[in-house]
Amino acid sequence: MNSPDSHRFDPPGRPAAPGSGWIEVVCGSMFSGKTEELLRRIKRARLARQPVLLFKPRIDNRYDAVKVVSHEGVTADALPVASADDLLGRVRAETAVVGIDEVQFFDGRIVAVAGILADRGVRVIAAGLDQDYRGEPFGPIGALLAVAEYATKLHAVCAVCGAHASRSQRLVASEAQLFVGGAAAYEARCRGCFVDDVLVSE
Ligand SMILES: [Zn+2]
């Protein structure tokens, strides 16, 4: 049986003209390799000398303000932005590829901004969590998946049973959706092993 993650998506070359861009979404639970996959696509475009910009929301400063850092320690320089329109304002005329890490932390405006860029001919690659710690759609990800040309769902390995994991189990008591406690506060779990709420006290 093929793993759901055995495919890799590698589109053709640089978008050629206005209207010929597209949106790619790379999503999944924590520890599913979303950021590695985003950085792999970004690196591949850079090797082809395509003008690339990589962004991340300013809210996420777990490790470094200006780098995208995967759990495995792979890094790339990224521009922290305060909002979707802040991101839009930093894209240059020559930019061919726009990467966005932790896209779930943007508000709904990021969907329109991704569309504006794709309409201009930009390849937009957005990576982020598809579900929050309760298993609910996280921020703008559902709408972004709906309008994307290409979607990749990655899976981690369930920390309890070893099956494909689609959910992020929070291990500490906090009800904030934006709680970013780092890797130690979560583990990946499959649908069957995921427990909603039970670890949240009171
Ligand atoms: Zn499991």
pTM for the model:
0.85
Question: Is residue 24 annotated as a catalytic residue, yes or no?
Answer: no
Res 195: pLDDT: 93
Separation of CA 161 and ligand 1 centre (Å)? 4
Res 201: pLDDT: 47
Domains, the chain, in order of start with CATH, read 22-154 (3.40.50.300)
Separation of CA 181 and ligand 1 centre (Å)? 22
**Helix, strand and coil in the chain, % to nearest 5:** 25, 25, 50
Pick the closest to residue 41 from 113, 100, 90 (CA basis).
Answer: 100
Separation of CA 164 and ligand 1 centre (Å)? 7
Whether the CB-CB separation of 114 and 144 falls below 8 Å is answered with yes
Per-residue confidence band for 197, with pLDDT thresholds at 50, 70 and 90: low
Separation of CA 151 and ligand 1 centre (Å)? 24
Q: Which one from 24, 37, 102, 187 is the annotated catalytic residue?
A: 102
The mean predicted confidence, pLDDT, of the chain is 86
Separation of CA 195 and ligand 1 centre (Å)? 10
